[in-house]
Amino acid sequence: MTLRHKLFRNLMRTPVYNAILGSGGQKKVRAPSTINFPWPQDLSVANAIMQGRFALAGVTCAIDDNIWKIDGPTEAWFEAAHGFFWLNDLISLQHPDTPGKAAFLIDKWIDQHLDYSIKVWRSDFTGRRVINWACFATQLFEVSGPSFQDRFCESISKQIRHLKRAAQFDRDGAARITALVGLIAGETVLSNDGEVSGRSAKALKLELERQVLADGVHGSRSPEAHLNVLCDLILLRELLVNTGVTVPESLFNAIDRMTPILRFFRHGDGALSQFNGGGETSKDLIDRVLEVAASNGKAPIRAPHAGFERLAAGDMTVILDTGTPCLFPSLNPFGHAGSLSMELSVGTERLIVNCGCRLNLNSDWRWACRFTAAHSTLVVAETNSCELIKEGGARKAPVIVDTDRGEADGNCWFSASHDGYMSRFGHTHRRRLYIGKSGLDLRGEDTLTGDKNLPFKIHFHLHPDVDVLLRQNRTSALIRTKSGSAWRFRTSGGALNLEDSVYLGGRAFAKRSQQIVVTGKTLDAATTIKWALQPENLTL
C-alpha cells in the first residue's frame, strides 16, 4: 500500500470522509428485468426470510428492529447479510410479497448505514451489496414509491463514490475484484452512457491481468477462490449484456480462460479439490456456474503457471499441487504449505484428500490446516515444507518445484521435486506417480535425498466416507468406500500406521476421519518409500 493510500485510509476513519462522499443521487436507474445468476437459488433461505429469519452461512438470526445494528454471530453471516447475497434467493421465490419484503429490508439497512462505516462499507462487502442491488433494482422499483427510490439511489450513489476511491487499494485478491465488479455494476445502472466508464474498465483489466495467471488459475491458487472470482465476473457480464452495455474484452477473456480451470479442479463427484483454502463447495453450484459461463473449453491436464497437475485414467483422478507456496501472499495470505500434496477420487467417491479449509473457520483452525501435515504429502521432522507466518504468507523464500510428466498408451506418469527442506535439513523431496490406463493401478514413490538422519512421515488423509483397516503385517491397509468397493494400499520402506484426522472441506464444520501414515528415518543419501493403491484381489 502506498503512502497516499495509507493517508486516505486514515481519512476514511474520520467524519470528514462522509462529507467528501456527499449526498444525493439520480432518480432513474437503467437495470435489467432478469439476470441469469451463476449461483443456484436456495429457496430455504427465501422461506426463512419470509418467516422472519436470516438463515445464512449456517447460522440463523431473527429479523427484528436490531438486525442491521448487530455484527452477527459470525463473520461469514455478516458478509452474507450485509452483502445482500440473499436477494437472489428471496426474489426468486416468485411470491407476490417477496420484492416488497426485499425493499423493506433494504430501506431498513439504509436507515442504519447511509453513512460510511469501516466494517459495513468494506470495499468487497460494498461491491457485493451494490451488484446485488443493481441486479434487482427493476423489481424493487416496481413495488416501491418515490421515497424508497430516492433513498435507494442516494445510498447506491454514495457507495459507488466510495468504491471509486477505495476499490483499488482497500482489499486485495478476490475481494478487490468483487469491489471493482460492484463499482462497474453500480455505474451501469445509474448511467445512461451505454458504456462502462473507461477508468473502471481499465482498473478491472489491470487487476485481471495481475490476478489471473497465464494458465487461467486465480493467483490465490485456491480452487474455491477461483470459483468465487469466476462467479463475480460472470454475473457482471450478465448484467452488462442485459442492460445493453458493451462488455469489455478483458472480461470475456478472463471468463473463457478461467472456466476450463474450474473443470480442471473438479473431482469425479463434481465438487472441488482442496488446496490453499476453501472447501469442496457443491456440485450443483459448479454445474450452474459452468452452464451460465457458456464456455466450452475442456479441462487441461496441467496448470503449469500456478503449479497443478491432473492425472486421470479410467475412473481414477489424481490432482496434485506442484506449485510454489505463497506465490502471491497478497492474493491469498493464508496459502498452505502443501508442496506435492495430492487428492484422489475414483468415480464419484473421494479416497485420499487434504484436510481442507472452510472459509468460515476460526483463526486457530485456519492456522492448523495450513500445515504440511494437514495435506497428503511427506513431512520431514514434523516441520512445514515452508516457514509459514500466522498473519499470512511465508517467512522464507518460496521453494523451487521441478516437474516432469509423460503419457503413452493411456498410461500416465509424473515426477516432481521441491527443495523446501534443503535450507533447514539439507534434503529434497521427490514424488513420482504412475497411473495405469485402466484406472485400477496407482503406484507412487517418495524419495528424500540428503545425508542427515531425520524422521519423516507420509500422510494419506482419507475422506470421512471411507473406512480403513490395517492388515496384521502392517505393510498394507484395506480401504472400503460407501459403494462397497475395496482398495488395497501397500507400502515398503516405512512403517504403516493409522491415525485420527479431521476433514474440514465439507458442509459440516468438521468431520472425524482417518489417515494412513507411513513413518521412518532417512538412512542413506537417498531414502525411497514405495506405495501402491489397487483394487482388492486384483492381480497385476
Residue 192, pLDDT score: 67
> What type of residue sits at position 534?
Q
Q: Are 525 and 427 in contact (CB under 8 A)?
A: no
Q: Are 396 and 387 in contact (CB under 8 A)?
A: yes
**Measuring CA to CA, how many Å separate 475 from each of 344, 491, 529?**
21, 6, 12
**Measuring CA to CA, how many Å separate 107 from each of 19, 22, 312?**
22, 19, 52
Residue 4, pLDDT score: 75
In this structure, how many other beta carbons lie within 10 angstroms of the beta carbon of residue 256? Answer: 15
Domain limits of the chain? 30-293, 309-535
Cell output for 503: 476433514
Measured between alpha carbons, how far is 100 from 258 in angstroms, rounded to an integer?
A: 37
Per DSSP, the three-state class of 11 is helix
In this structure, how many other beta carbons lie within 10 angstroms of the beta carbon of residue 369? Answer: 25
How far out from the chain centre does Cα 275 lie?
9
Place of cell 467417491: 349
DSSP letter assigned to residue 394: B
* Phi, psi (deg, nearest 5) at residue 31: -125, 155
Measured between alpha carbons, how far is 416 from 447 in angstroms, rounded to an integer?
A: 10
The four Cα atoms 121, 253, 292, 284 give a dihedral, to 10 degrees, of: -80
Rounded to two decimals, what is the model's pTM?
0.95
Residue 322: closest CA among 217, 439, 440: 217
Measured between alpha carbons, how far is 435 from 449 in angstroms, rounded to an integer?
A: 24
Residue 100, pLDDT score: 97
Instruction: Collect the ranges in the chain with pLDDT lower than 50.
Output: 539-540
CA angle 474–479–484, rounded 5-degree value: 145
Measured between alpha carbons, how far is 62 from 54 in angstroms, rounded to an integer?
A: 6
CATH label, 30-293, candidates 1.50.10.100, 3.40.50.620, 3.10.20.30, 3.30.450.20: 1.50.10.100
Residue 22, pLDDT score: 84
Residue 540, pLDDT score: 45
- Fold for the domain defined by 309-535: Beta-galactosidase; Chain A, domain 5 (2.70.98)
Tell how strand 455-462 and strand 467-470 pair up: unpaired
Predicted confidence (pLDDT) per residue in 324-358, tens digit: 876 667 788 778 999 999 999 999 999 999 999 87
